[in-house]
Structure 1
Amino acid sequence: MRYLMHNLSDLDEKALLLQLRNSEKPAFEELYRRYKIRLTGNLLRMLKSPELVEDVMQDIFLGIWENRKSIDPDQSIKPYLFTSAANRAKNIFRKAASEQLFRAYLLPHWEENYTHVEEVLFAQENKQLLEELLKNLSPQQRTVYTLCRLEGKSYKEVADFLHITEATVNAHISNANKVLKELTKNNPAFLWTAFGALLLFSLQ
């Protein structure tokens, strides 16, 4: 067989994917070897369960083998692998949403990675939701948050513009973030969009 003519570990990804598309199992095993440690480690950090991680890994690579004929060797398979891992992890959390496990897993990551959640909230497709959430802030909080977070002005610029201190600007931002954190993590429509993005970021 052709794979005997090569040291598979020395092959570039395109050559490896060509062999995989031709149903050569050693190429499949080499692909698994190359990505196993990183995928497993990142999934374990998110799912906290070796059993769940093993199920996700089997699911991902079974899908690759079953769909090997449709693989495009000119496209890196890495984005597919990490996106698939994120999506499957997200599905696990969705299924557990009504259970206590959901909060045990999700909320600590929500707090730790709120900056990335905020990026999703600011995306164009979530503009309407953001406008609705901002209505829950006090007028001054909303003004300060809009100027700092959405318009990118510095605390000093906002303080000078509104004739308040930078410490007051900081307090308004801090309080606004507390309100928005609570609102977003309890909004089902936004929750999974944001958490899917958070998972994908964490798996990179």
Structure 2
Amino acid sequence: MKQGDGASFAELYRRYSGRIYGNILKLVKEQQAAEELLQDVFAKLWEKRETICIETSFQSYLFVVSRNAVYNFMRHLAKERRLRNEAALVYLSSYQHVEEQLLERELLSAYESLVHALPPRRQDIYRLCKWEGKSYEEVGAMLGISVATINDHIVKATHFIKTQLSHICILLLLVIY
């Protein structure tokens, strides 16, 4: 075989492939993978035939080569599994990000609807104070009402919005999860 004799190689394959295959199959527990690894072992044997120096039995040499092939295969599988898990985490985090954006949009829409559902005067006062950032004094002067009245409208509007939003949040979470 060292000189490239195909018949010698075929005889070695016939003699040892069954035992090597059985050993590989015990380790990888998957028929297709075991068949591929067996072919890899004998392909490496053929490629390195001129440099092979066997001091013990040929069968022992083949078992060592096949064991190393299985270890490399297992390392490759572990690396592939790690990469798949990392990709899944990236996918899930981006999915959660999209999910969070949708939830945020739903809540903002609900918030705006709730502000719109306030009585007109309370709605105006709420928008001027909360959205435009005007002080109670400024809004009171603009609308000709007292700061105490502005405060009363803001307290009632805030209570209404918070109560309704908490119900909406619970419903959204139930739908999402």
TM-score under structure 1 normalisation? Answer: 0.36
Higher relative contact order structure (alpha carbons within 8 Å, sequence separation ≥ 6): 1
TM-score under structure 2 normalisation? Answer: 0.41
